[in-house]
Amino acid sequence: MPEVFPSSRLMVRLWDRRWSPSAGHPAVRQSFQPTDKVPGYQSGSCGYCKAPASNSTTLTIEHYQILMDRGWRRSERPCHQCFLWQLLTRTLGLVVAHSSPLLVLSTNLMLKDRVPTNHFKPSRDQRQTLHRWNRFVLGDGYAASYARLHPKTKVEKKAEHNSFDLSSTVHASETNTLPPEPKPEHNYTVKLDNDTYTDEKYTLFEKYQRIVHKEPPSAISKSGFRRFLCASPLINDTAAETALHPRISLESDKVLGSFHQLHRLNNKLIAISVLDLLPHAVSAVYFIYDPELEKHGLGKLSALREAAMAEERGYMYYYMGYYIHDCAKMRYKADYRPQEVLDMSDGADNMRWRTLDKDVEAQMSARTFGVPDDQPSRPDLSKPIAAANSGLSLLKLQVPGVLPSSALLAPSFDLGKVFALIGKKGAHNIVNFDMLTVWDDDSAEEGEAEENKEEDIDGGGRHRAVDIRASALENSHSIKGVVAELAAAVGLEVARAMIVSFGSSS
């Protein structure tokens, strides 16, 4: 009897053209190994490398938080971590960087970054940007009129002069926070909205892409906007009735899910922040603004507002995406201090956040940050493109951020119990992978190894059995090897919950 689809699980769809149906087996396709083109130069769904990406069709908020803390980040519906290519480029000191009209390789290190908002201290430039915006919205004469109508004591004036409060400054010019008098020069509102499509949102998106990013009109479409910014894979379960119908965290009143934060000036939409609100993160996905207001630094204002939101509502951290030390367009993120970057050099089961300080920046400049010490068994990865095209498993390549084979062989985890979704549309079955005949392709060698282990009194057989089992997991051309790569990349907790769909991309 088919298992009822558990909506709380992670759905992952994998595809490629290398696999074809075989008698008695599902049509298995996979997308980890580029076959005939250099990664980064083929069309597909990944926003960074343009390679065919593993597509997360549904994803719980809790699972996405776990993945975020393992270096993942979503873009459109897929996650940005394109298993082989992006793991290699990020951890080996390379990143696929945008350079119109093609994506080119750049010798930069791409690292997950976040700001612990309880310690965040806006810089002088950031404070001045906020003050300039508030003066623009309120008008030149507003401060004098306000002081006359609402006089402050000397103590209040001194305290205001000697301190800076991010939260109150961010909201200082919002219409709903102002007293009835005096009247501001402009009406400025900020509202959290569902991440749904509207023509008004698309009009601003089209203008932004065309003017700021110089995209031709033929490259901008409503369907692309929907897919890019209105099709979050996050599941927003409703635990309480609200105007937005988001999921409400049981631990607090934090709103969780994917949203658009809409900025309006005199009732005109001037900016959209695309945000993922997670158990302990406000994650910035994308920001769109009206190019006519570019001089006001709306991107900087948005980042400060989102950092304030993380602190005000108890999210704890503001995730800004990836930090690329040598990329001029990304260096602005280092202005938000303190900043933490994810260090994977100690292994996927011992990743840690490190403060972005002078020592870490020096390591980044020297290309030594996040790079594990070479091991005798590690393949030569001095040429990442060759490594990406080598056909070797992520496990064999020992890519930082990916669990080793030993973790997948631990008694607490059974790779064969990972769920698979098979069958045609409308007639899906959910089964464990070890129920598929093709899963046992390597069973003969493994069984022989187990027999040797039992017969070998000195224990040598036991080591050979483990080696053979690990070798089966590191075979990137078998279904078991492909699922092992996926489990090692997402981590055991998510792997236990995910359902992998093998089939075409259509």
Per-residue pLDDT tens for 309-326? 999 999 999 999 888 888
Partners of 103 in the β-ladder: 98
Name the more confident of 268 and 235: 268
Please count the CA atoms within 13 angstroms of the CA of 39 that sit on its side-chain side.
32
Name the more confident of 488 and 327: 488
Q: pLDDT, tens digit, for every residue of 40-65?
A: 222 333 444 344 444 456 778 888 89
Q: pLDDT, tens digit, for every residue of 254-282?
A: 899 999 999 999 999 999 999 999 999 99
pLDDT, mean over the chain? 75
CA 495-499-505 angle, 5° bins: 120
CA-nearest of 504, 494, 497, 496 to 72 is: 494
Which range scores top for mean pLDDT: 77-91, 215-229, 338-352, 456-470?
215-229
Residue 408: inside a domain, yes or no? yes
Q: What is the pLDDT of residue 26?
A: 33
Residue 354: inside a domain, yes or no? no
**223, 262, 474 from 435: Cα distances, Å:** 39, 49, 20
Compute the CA torsion angle 144, 145, 146, 149 (nearest 10 deg).
Answer: 130
What stretch of H or E contains 496? helix 492-497
Q: Lowest-confidence range among 31-45, 59-73, 113-127, 271-285? A: 31-45
Name the more confident of 476 and 291: 291
Pair 458, 310 in one domain: no
CA 455-461-463 angle, 5° bins: 155
Residue 289: inside a domain, yes or no? yes
* Alpha carbons 149 and 152: distance in angstroms, whole number: 10
* Alpha carbons 187 and 285: distance in angstroms, whole number: 26
* Alpha carbons 253 and 250: distance in angstroms, whole number: 7
Pair 119, 255 in one domain: yes
Residues 244 and 255: beta-carbon distance below 8 Å: yes
Q: Lowest-confidence range among 72-86, 202-216, 387-401, 483-497? A: 72-86
Residues 279 and 249: beta-carbon distance below 8 Å: yes
Q: What is the pLDDT of residue 158?
A: 86
Pair 74, 180 in one domain: no
Q: What is the pLDDT of residue 372?
A: 67
Pair 395, 334 in one domain: no
> Quick one: tokens of 146?
């306000």
Strand ranges in 369-447 using DSSP code E only, listed in sequence order: 419-422, 429-432
Pair 255, 312 in one domain: yes
Name the more confident of 152 and 247: 152
Residue 188: inside a domain, yes or no? yes
Would you give the distance in Å from CA 349 to the centre of its chain?
19
Q: What is the pLDDT of residue 325?
A: 85
| Percent composition of the chain: helix, strand, coil (DSSP 3-state, to 5) | 35, 20, 45
Q: Lowest-confidence range among 35-39, 179-183, 284-288? A: 35-39
Q: Lowest-confidence range among 75-79, 224-228, 244-248, 459-463? A: 244-248
Residue 491, phi-psi category: left (phi > 0), alpha (psi -120 to 50), beta (remainder): left
**196, 372, 474, 494 from 86: Cα distances, Å:** 29, 17, 19, 19
Residue 1: inside a domain, yes or no? no
Residue 88: inside a domain, yes or no? yes
Domain boundary among 338, 371, 405: 338
Pair 32, 148 in one domain: no
Q: Lowest-confidence range among 156-165, 380-389, 408-417? A: 380-389
Number of domains in the chain: 2
Q: What is the pLDDT of residue 375?
A: 57
Residues 415 and 484: beta-carbon distance below 8 Å: yes
CA-nearest of 123, 460, 503, 167 to 305 is: 167
Pair 154, 273 in one domain: yes
Please state, for a pLDDT cut of 70, what percent of the chain lies above it: 67
Q: Please tell me whether residue 106 adopts helix, strand or coil conformation.
A: strand
Calculate mean pLDDT across residues 208-223: 95
Residue 22: inside a domain, yes or no? yes
Pair 284, 365 in one domain: no
Count of other CB atoms within 10 angstroms of residue 2: 11
Pair 275, 289 in one domain: yes
Count of other CB atoms within 10 angstroms of residue 115: 25
Q: What is the pLDDT of residue 374?
A: 57
Residue 220: inside a domain, yes or no? no
Pair 330, 398 in one domain: no
Calculate mean pLDDT across residues 425-447: 71
Pair 496, 440 in one domain: yes
Domain housing 417: 11-109+360-502
- Strands 317-324 and 110-116, how do they pair? antiparallel
CA-nearest of 477, 483, 498 to 416 is: 483
Name the more confident of 2 and 365: 365
Pair 156, 305 in one domain: yes
